[in-house]
């Protein structure tokens, strides 16, 4: 039997304004929500953290825009909480003791390779070099609730992807034409950065 993690130590080991205070506020909001809204929140936690299944379009993601439709203040509190998990909780000594450090994770993931895990073209810094490249969220933490500390959602990115190309792009949906007022374009499949399968890619070239 797997021993359950002692989250109490994590909560008590981090500044209450980043953990306990927002958790109490979220609980206070959620306990009065109808069952249909609780189901959406549950799906946001479960489906959004199945990174591979989302990439393959097996699951439908839940976005912050969906949470805003339930309760704007609740959505804002969850976004602030998830952002602070990455900024303030992951670097904490208590988190590192339980899960390991981001630096250790980066070295394991980067290995000997130099290819960016987003574009596959520009370079990242390998595990043997002193510094490291940025770890970026594959599904942007500004768009997808509850994914900010999922290690399968954190991949090494080259400077161009981290600062220019990727940013807050929603990789699971096409950007709709400007003439349409829809929030999202068509749903698409995405490359899963931890995939071990080699895809078969056929390219056809036609003359003008």
The model's pLDDT over 178-194, given as tens digits with 9 standing for 90+, comes to 655 556 778 888 888 87
Q: In the prediction, which pLDDT does 155 show?
A: 85
**pLDDT score for 179:** 58
Q: How is residue 206 written in tokens? A: 């036609």
Rounded Cα distance between 191 and 56, Å, is: 8
User: pTM to 2 decimals?
Assistant: 0.81
Domain regions of the chain by residue span: 7-165
The percent of the chain in helix, strand and coil, each rounded to the nearest 5, is 40, 5, 55
Q: pLDDT digits over 56-97, tens only?
A: 999 999 999 999 999 999 999 999 999 999 988 888 887 888
pLDDT of 98-149, one tens digit each?
A: 778 878 887 777 777 777 877 777 878 776 777 777 788 999 999 999 999 8
């Amino acid at each position: 039997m797997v021993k359950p993690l002692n989250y109490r130590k994590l909560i008590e080991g981090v500044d209450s304004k980043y953990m306990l205070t927002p958790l109490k506020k979220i609980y206070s909001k959620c306990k009065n929500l109808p069952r249909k809204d609780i189901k959406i929140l549950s799906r946001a936690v479960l489906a959004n953290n199945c990174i591979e299944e989302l990439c393959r379009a097996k699951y439908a993601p839940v976005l912050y825009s969906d949470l805003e439709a339930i309760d704007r203040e609740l959505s804002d509190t969850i976004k602030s909480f998830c952002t602070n998990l990455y900024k303030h909780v992951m670097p904490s000594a208590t988190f590192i003791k339980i899960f390991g450090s981001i630096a250790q994770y980066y070295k394991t993931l980067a290995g000997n390779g130099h290819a960016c895990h987003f574009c596959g073209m520009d370079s990242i810094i390998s595990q043997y070099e002193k510094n490291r490249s940025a770890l970026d969220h594959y599904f942007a933490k500004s768009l997808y609730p509850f994914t900010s500390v999922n290690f399968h959602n954190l991949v090494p990115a080259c400077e161009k992807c981290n600062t220019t190309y990727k940013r807050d792009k929603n990789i699971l949906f096409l950007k709709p034409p400007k003439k349409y007022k829809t929030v999202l374009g068509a749903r698409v499949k995405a490359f899963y950065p931890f995939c071990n399968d080699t895809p078969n890619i056929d390219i056809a070239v036609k003359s003008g």
